[in-house]
Amino acid sequence: MDARLNYFAAPTAGKALKYVMAAGRELKGSPLPARTQELVSLRVSQINGCAVCIDMHTKEAATAGEEQVRLHLVAAWREATVFTPAERAALALAERGTRVADGAEGVSDEVWAEAARHYDEDQLATLVMLIAFMNMANRLNAIARQPGGDYQVGSFH
């Protein structure tokens, strides 16, 4: 399968993507735990069916030392015992923030309060930005049908 577009080869999109990628790097360097960032990025990508992002985030997380069992259970995190309460709150926020267009209720006060219990304001703002960033990246990749499977760890650093 070949991608429909190469965004980096298109002059306008290529310029815009430089800023998008810079924003992503800034989020990576935030005080939000790296493991949480990868779990959230993976879950958002699973919901959106973004093969290249699922490929990327499972490989990046594994290289950073994430346990395979946790990566395998992200899709069923509610029924899994391997996630901390803080990670569960982040995953709940990620799901609700991703499904806002599905006719779901969006981010409830209860989901927000649970996330706010585990993360300070900077971490919470970063978490929200990461969820939005991943949804944008997933949509760019899904529209262009970017295939998964060939990602090399560190390619976007």
Average pLDDT, the chain: 91
Give pLDDT, residue 48: 94
Q: Given 1.10.10.60, 3.40.50.300, 3.40.50.1480, 1.20.1290.10, which CATH number is that of 32-143?
A: 1.20.1290.10
Indicate the range of 30-39, 94-103, 118-127 predicted with least confidence.
Answer: 94-103
pLDDT at position 3 is: 78
CB neighbours of residue 46 within 10 Å: 19
Tokens representing 76? 């069923």
How far is Cα 95 from Cα 65, in angstroms, rounded to an integer? Answer: 24
* Residue 63 or residue 156, greater confidence: 63
The 10 Å Cβ neighbour count of residue 134 is: 27
Residue 8 pLDDT: 78
Q: State which H helix or E strand residue 93 sits in.
A: helix 85-98
**Cα dihedral across residues 64, 70, 72, 77: positive or negative:** negative
Q: How confident is the model at residue 80 (pLDDT cuts 50, 70, 90)?
A: very high
Phi, psi of 6 (to 5 degrees): -115, 95
Distance CA 31, CA 49 (A): 28
In the chain, what percentage of residues exceed pLDDT 90?
69
Cβ-contact 12, 101 below 8 angstroms: no
What pLDDT score was predicted for residue 86?
98
Give the pLDDT score at 7: 75
At residue 30, the pLDDT reads 93
* Extents of the domains making up the chain: 32-143
Give the Cα separation of 53 and 41 in Å (integer): 8
- In this predicted structure, which of 40-49, 62-71, 88-97, 145-154 has the lowest mean pLDDT? 145-154
